[in-house]
Structure 1
Amino acid sequence: MDDDLLSQVDALARRYGVLGQVTEVRGGVANRGFVFGDKLFLRVARPGFEVDLRKETTVVPIARAAGVLTPAIIEYDDGRAVIDAPYVVMERVHGAEPTAVPIELAEHLARLHDACSPDLPDLPDLPDLPRDDWGDPWRTIDDLAGRGYLDTGAAQWLTDWFRRLSTRFDRGRPKTLIHGDVAAHNLLVDTDGRLTALIDWGDATVAPAEVDFAKLPLEDVAALLPGYIRHSRSAGAEDELAAAAVWLHLEWALGKLPATPWPGQRHWTAPTASRLLGLLRFFAAAPPAPWSTLT
């Protein structure tokens, strides 16, 4: 099967005039990626991720129209005439994964969230995307306590923490189109560390805008929020956004505790305790207001 796919990729490369200039980029979970010469990039959906790739063909033009830095889609094909899987040929954007989250990301997330906020007049026709919400942390806490992951005192402390956070922001705010996987491995930067692209829109969904800050360490979120608010037409106050970010990090951290360990993954949230330790590290460093008021 692998040899069959590679021969099919070569057939497509011949059509684009880049035969002999194809290199596979290893590591993609949802897609196999291939450099197609200097200007193009091919992504082929892995089994089970076909819908995500089709979703990108709708979401990427919305993001680009909003001014978000992301590669243009040149061709999408799911007819399996050339490659026996859906694929996209995209503009190739040169860059590397950042070692520090670029501050320009704040402006581009603001552009994305503003472009599709339901209370704005320029709402695009959104695709049928899965909807995410705030979850039910109190049920999560009860479940963890019942299964022996939390003692009674810790469960009560966490219950009270979520109760306090719930008074600090509005969970009923309108949702918007989000990227859904804003993390270092989906960012490209130039040699000066400036953002060149936000890539991989397979997890895009309609959700609270704050969810796009849930996969970044809180240190990065704290650095990005002032710029995000400055560039946004619809963002709330910094203390509200910060409270929502802490809610999401804590709720997702608790949900991850009973998961089966998945070693060898590069994302910082892959280990089951990483989010909780990230919260501990962030608050132990005595962050400034409004973060210092959210414990």
Structure 2
Amino acid sequence: MSEQDEFLGSVAAIGRRHGVLPEQVTEVAGGVANRGFGLGGALFLRVARPGFEDDLRKESGVIPVARSAGVLTPAIVEYDERRALIDAPYVVMERVDGIEPTEVPVGLAEQLARLHGAERTDLPGVPQDDSRDPWQTVDELAERGYLDLGTAKWLSDWFTRLADRFDRNEPKVLIHGDVAAHNLLAGPDGELRALIDWGDAAYAPRAMDFAKLPLEHVAAILPDYIRRLPTSGTGRSTPQEEEVAAAALWFHLHWGLGKLTANPWPGQRHWTAPRASRILALLRFFTGNPPAPWSTLT
């Protein structure tokens, strides 16, 4: 028996454990960190690929916290890392049908507000994200010849102005970490049905959760997000729209500059994969007459 046949036999055994016949097990293409399988119409199996075992373990702790905060994400039916049935950690979850949205789905602002308002708790494997200094990034790009000195100074000044517009010491919140179209499931009406794949979850600035959405989408949902943030019981003050916008722009600009030195990555579907995409997206956004407060952030 080949290694692949043995693996698929183990997947079938997991299916039978949950009352699913082998012919009802279907592999779903894609997935960098996990291999995914539909188990009939009600369940979904994710098996960690080598090197991503910690991400799946992290998800098993984060998902119940997110669900307790009211976030739409599939419930965990079973998490097993004993390697008794298959030589990898796996998780069986409820299956939610939906499609990858082409526009920002209705309800995303509410879901992010619920998540960021979750009470902080000790979650094993969930890191506290401390971002790099963007001024250092600009200096390094100039030293390596990616930026001329005039442009480097202009960018450094821009970061300094943005730093005055939000609290860089704001308490960290639980973020999803990869809020992008491929991790959102929407119905045919455009309503968000689920936020999936929590392998990048972290305690981090709330604005970081807006860094993988196009700025046009961020600008569209941010007012609703601010309105839906909890106003009591979390021990945190409610930020203003301008503060979150400035911080989100900070991450878009910083990450865009950091990507300039990356190797080309063809064949990827995510809009941030090409190394110049973020910088060109900023150009497109700010030449499109963005609304306040975005128009005041340059």
Q: TM-score, normalised by structure 2?
A: 0.95
Most deviating of 131-140 and 69-78: 131-140
Partner of 1:110: 113
Partner of 1:189: 186
Q: Which runs of 5+ in 1 are unaligned?
A: 117-122
Shift of the alpha carbon at 1:103?
3.0
Shift of the alpha carbon at 1:2?
2.0
> Contact 2:106/2:190 (CA < 8 Å) preserved in 1?
no
Partner of 1:47: 50
Partner of 2:212: 215
Partner of 1:14: 16
Q: Distance in 2 between matches of 1:252 and 1:285?
A: 21
1:154 aligns with 2:151: yes
Shift of the alpha carbon at 1:14?
1.8
Partner of 2:242: 239
> Contact 2:54/2:125 (CA < 8 Å) preserved in 1?
no
Partner of 2:197: 200
Aligned residue pairs total 289
| Letter paired with 1:88 | V
* 3-state SS of paired residue (1:257): helix
Partner of 1:174: 171
Partner of 2:83: 80
Q: Distance in 1 between matches of 2:278 and 2:86?
A: 39
2:226 counterpart (223, 229, 252): 229
Q: Distance in 2 between matches of 1:131 and 1:4?
A: 38
> Contact 1:103/1:223 (CA < 8 Å) preserved in 2?
no
Q: Which runs of 5+ in 2 are unaligned?
A: 231-236
> Contact 1:134/1:171 (CA < 8 Å) preserved in 2?
no
Aligned counterparts, 1:90-109, within 5 A: 90-109=93-112
Partner of 1:165: 162
> Contact 1:96/1:188 (CA < 8 Å) preserved in 2?
yes
1:281 aligns with 2:284: yes
Q: Distance in 2 between matches of 1:13 and 1:167?
A: 54
Q: Report the RMSD for the aligned CA atoms in angstroms.
A: 1.0
Partner of 2:234: none
For residues 67-88 of structure 1, the C-alpha deviation after alignment (integer angstroms, 9 at most, x for no partner) is 0000000000111110110000
> Contact 1:74/1:88 (CA < 8 Å) preserved in 2?
yes
Q: TM-score, normalised by structure 1?
A: 0.96
* 3-state SS of paired residue (1:115): coil
Partner of 1:135: 132
Q: Distance in 1 between matches of 2:169 and 2:123?
A: 20
Partner of 2:6: 4
Q: Distance in 2 between matches of 1:263 and 1:78?
A: 34
